[in-house]
Amino acid sequence: MSNQSTVSEFILLGFSDIRELQILYFATFFIIYLTALIGNLLVIIVVALNQSLHTPMYFFLMNLSTVDLGYISVTIPKVMNNSLWATRQISYVACVTQLFFFLVFLSSEFFLLTVMAYDRFVAICNPLQYEQLMNKVSCVQMTAAVWIISFCNAVLHTTCTFGITFCSNVINQFFCEIPQILRLSCSSSFVPEKGAVIACSLLGVGCFAFIVISYLQIFRAVLKIPSAQGRKKAISTCLPHLIVLFLFYFTGSVAYLRPMSSSSSDTNLAVAVMYSIIPPFMNPIIYSIRNKEIMSGLWRLLYKNKIFTFTYKWGVGFIKK
């Protein structure tokens, strides 16, 4: 293919072409997708409908679940479709669209995690100024900034990535990913995209440094809390965030900052699954199961709307008999 104008579709190599394995992949991704949808929707509904959870921490958590819904919906439905129908094609327009929205949600995820780190820093290190610094207007402004920066970042990378000259249309991945698309270039004409990656990497390193410094200050403040129960409560609110952040940041860095020539197909697939599918799937589990407020809010919501009431009454009657 001489240039990008002749490319009407791409081929996503993705996973195995053995039919039995394709069915297995479809079933696996269907379970993951359904679990992620239910988990993130529950977090959004519980936070939105429980007045006691209308605080900055849960406001950002609700936004994170919203991002996760879009994040996982950009890639998995296409993977399931390809696995079920044994196809590999994705049109040029669909590939551009998928990459754009994937970058929007990928960037939003990272910047929201940074904002959530700042929220925990203020809550633990400056509790007396928390209501002043993290008021409703500030939270909305920070969230709006996250979406605006993410949108601009996606426009920049999508434009630079698809501005290259293509010599092939075979993408060695299960979705349209920047490193694998750049492999299709005929020459070094993707220098603008390299520049964009470097610029965004510097921004990412800056955010990561801010997060590290914030948590160093948080742990230093936690150690000064006199009661063991207070220290445990402070750590329990930070630990899930650190787990999610480490998983997301480490795998994403490996995918985008590693030299393309040093990666194998199996490694690329594993890393892509780790940073594009696992975080949206694990976030509601990590944040909700360990969070008593979320769980109690969920049960209050269920009983308030008389969900499971019939089952509960039937069970009580059965036990009495």
CATH number at residue 61: 1.20.1070.10
- As for how many domains the chain has, the answer is 1
C-alpha span between 184 and 16 (Å, rounded)? 21
Does residue 159 belong to any structural domain of this protein? yes
pLDDT, tens digit, for every residue of 210-256? 888 888 888 888 877 777 777 777 777 677 777 777 777 777 777 66
Residues contacting residue 259 through CB under 8 Å, at least 6 positions apart: none
Q: Give the per-residue pLDDT at 268.
A: 77
Quick check: is 74 in a domain?
yes
Domain that holds residue 292: 4-312
| pLDDT higher than 70, residue 263 | no
Return the percentage of the chain with pLDDT > 70, whole number: 81
Mean pLDDT of the chain: 80
Q: How many residues does the chain have?
A: 321
Distance in angstroms between the alpha carbons of the first and the last residue of the chain: 76
Which of 296, 189, 286, 208 has the alpha carbon at shortest distance from 243? 286
Asked if residue 318 belongs to a domain, the reply is no
The answer to pTM > 0.75 is yes
| Whole-number pLDDT of residue 164 | 79
**pLDDT(190) > 60:** no
What whole-number distance in Å separates Cα of residue 266 and Cα of residue 276?
A: 15
Q: Is residue 116 part of a domain?
A: yes
Please report which confidence band the pLDDT of residue 3 belongs to, taking 50, 70 and 90 as the band edges: very low
Per-residue pLDDT at 199 exceeds 80: no
Please check whether residue 317 lies inside any domain of the structure. Answer: no
319 in a domain, yes or no? no
Q: Is residue 44 part of a domain?
A: yes
Question: Per-residue confidence at 305, pLDDT binned at 50, 70, 90?
Answer: low
Reported as a pLDDT band with limits 50, 70 and 90, residue 108 is: very high
For residue 85, with 0-12 CB atoms within 10 Å meaning exposed, 13-18 middle and 19 or more buried, which class applies? exposed
Question: Do the domain assignments include residue 320?
Answer: no
Residue 190 tokens read as 């993707």
Q: 11 burial class (0-12, 13-18, 19+ CB within 10 angstroms)?
A: middle
